[in-house]
Amino acid sequence: MLLGFPTNERFFMVCFSFAEGPLAWALIVWRCSLVFSSVDKTVSVFIHLLPGLVFFTIWWWDPVFFGAMHPEGTPERASWPYVENQSYLWKWLFFVPLAAYFFWQVLYYLIVEVLRRQRLLRDPEVMTSYRELSKKAKKANNMWWRLSGLLGDQNRLLMFILLQAIFTVATTALTVPIFLSYKLHVVYQILKVSASVWNGGNFLLEVMPRQVILKEKKKSETRDVTEQQHENPLQENSMETPQ
């Protein structure tokens, strides 16, 4: 989108908010793991990580980009975007992105959970964002799974939407200080990459060995059951053989 509107500072700020807000914080909150042996995990990390890195590079390190913000015939600015007051920043980094998010959330709920409800009930294998995230939370039995059950299992979807809204508001608000501080933005990039690498190492050293042990245990149990099934007919035949 920025390729089509490279000099639109307001559009840049909205996209910055999405990239460094909910999308990037999902790396940490949902513990995305950088595991190169898993295509799904690697792609997931890159989807959440790369947009923020692109905006970081453009915002702080690209002098050509700054030049594009000063078209010929316009006075030079001390900074870009031109911030007359904090309300300008909060409007385009917080309120406008939140309005877009809530509009999307309402549309998503109406289309997926209302209009397509019967389709989802008929096929539990169809994945929605709620099903995917709740599946992960339930498997991990983490804080999000426990919080989503505060109003009972029948209201987990409502609680999930509420928690997601709180998460979006909080992470979008944090984009304002990140946008204003180079040092804070650098720390944020390091935090995101470190969290992904740490989670990936934890997965390789702790989760995968447990999965292998569990898989071998199931194989052993299946093999024992199969052997017992083969032994039982032989025993019955030997008992039925006349003396």
For the stretch 19-76, pLDDT in tens is: 999 999 989 888 888 989 889 889 989 999 999 999 999 888 876 665 655 555 555 5
Token pair of 69, please?
A: 């913000």
pLDDT at 193: 95
Higher per-residue confidence, 75 vs 124: 124
Q: Which helix (H) or strand (E) is 165 found in, with range?
A: helix 156-173
Residues 6+ apart with CB under 8 A from 182: 60
pLDDT at 240: 55
Model confidence over 196-242: pLDDT tens digits? 999 998 888 887 787 778 777 777 777 767 767 666 655 555 555 55
Residues 6+ apart with CB under 8 A from 204: 35
Q: Residue type for 55, please?
A: F
Per the confidence metrics, is the pTM higher than 0.85?
A: no
Pick from 51, 56, 58, 37: nearest CA to 200: 37
First-last CA distance in the chain: 87
Half-sphere exposure of 121 (CA within 13 A, CB side): 6
pLDDT greater than 90 at residue 94: yes
Pick from 84, 9, 37, 55: nearest CA to 192: 55
72 conformational bin, left if phi > 0, alpha if psi -120 to 50, beta if neither: beta
Token pair of 63, please?
A: 């002098």
Mean pLDDT of 106-116: 83
Judge whether 98 and 169 are in contact, CB under 8 Å: yes
